[in-house]
Amino acid sequence: MIFVTALFLGSFYNVLAIRLLKKQSFVYPPSHCPQCQHRLAPWDLVPLLSYLVLRGKCRYCQSPISPLYPAGELLTGLSLYLAYRHLGLQLELLPAVILISVLVLAVLTDLRKKLILDVITLPALVLLLVLRLVIGEYSFWFYLAGGLTGFGLLLLISIVSRGGMGGGDIKLYALIGVVLGPSLTLLSLVLASFMGALVGGVMILLGRWQRKETIPFAPFIFVGTFVAYFYGETVWVWYLQLW
């Protein structure tokens, strides 16, 4: 039930990402095909299923539907389900759901337009800071230190790489820090950079990416943060056993 609910939430995040990028209202106009403008019926909007049944094509004009739609739905569905499996019904689920939602939206806007939107990150950051006054295993100062760690590290990288890291990434890492605290934020960044370098290197070798092209970093931030937040301790133990 949680998985299915989260799929619908993911479907809403798709719409939210697209309309915030276009600075449109997210309640009006009603959902329509971006190609033929035909208004979509409720059965065209069932997460995952509609895409599968329609075999990735618009029912009305046959133009292809972006695979980002089912991908965004599945990402939201799976990650919120895993968060629930991991945390159960406890207060920490609230910052977890906000973090995952912001990260899903960051992945969607970064993949579409190489942007991470302040209009999503900043209000969520303020909300999480307020929540950290009352929710969390550690004190508020621990999580504030996490936020400063994320912000500081990314600012440093951005200065050293001369703008290789965007302002959106910096603010996003401040938010991640407020949820994860300092050490897991560092782990998240190490994992994200490692995966980014690995995938980026392979893509450049295969000729799929140009060396100078900016690579959307949000998907790596998503995976790095998810692993650090929910499996951070396991990763540390595994890492220490290597030595």
In the complex, minimum distance from the CB of residue 18 to Zn ion, in angstroms, rounded to a whole number: 15
In the complex, minimum distance from the CB of residue 50 to Zn ion, in angstroms, rounded to a whole number: 13
In the complex, minimum distance from the CB of residue 56 to Zn ion, in angstroms, rounded to a whole number: 12
Q: Which position among 3, 8, 12, 60 is part of the footprint of Zn ion (CB under 5 A)?
A: 60
Q: Which position among 61, 130, 133, 198 is part of the footprint of Zn ion (CB under 5 A)?
A: 61
Q: Name the burial class of residue 15, with classes exposed (0-12), middle (13-18) and buried (19+) by CB atoms within 10 angstroms of its CB.
A: middle
Query: Considering beta carbons, is residue 2 or 61 the nearer one to Zn ion?
Result: 61
SS3 content of the chain, % helix, strand, coil (to 5): 70, 0, 30
What type of residue is 133? L
Nearest Cα neighbor of 110 from 9, 215, 209, 35 is 215
In the complex, minimum distance from the CB of residue 21 to Zn ion, in angstroms, rounded to a whole number: 20
Tell me: does residue 190 bind Zn ion (CB under 5 A): no
Tell me: does residue 53 bind Zn ion (CB under 5 A): no
Q: Which position among 5, 24, 31, 35 is part of the footprint of Zn ion (CB under 5 A)?
A: 35
Q: Is 163 helix (H, G, I), strand (E, B) or coil?
A: coil
CA distance 5 to 162: 42
Q: Are 95 and 131 in contact (CB under 8 A)?
A: yes
Tell me: does residue 36 bind Zn ion (CB under 5 A): yes
Q: How many residues bind Zn ion (CB under 5 A)?
A: 6
Query: Considering beta carbons, is residue 35 or 234 the nearer one to Zn ion?
Result: 35
Tell me: does residue 58 bind Zn ion (CB under 5 A): yes
Q: Are 26 and 19 in contact (CB under 8 A)?
A: yes
Interaction site with Zn ion (CB under 5 A): 33, 35-36, 58, 60-61
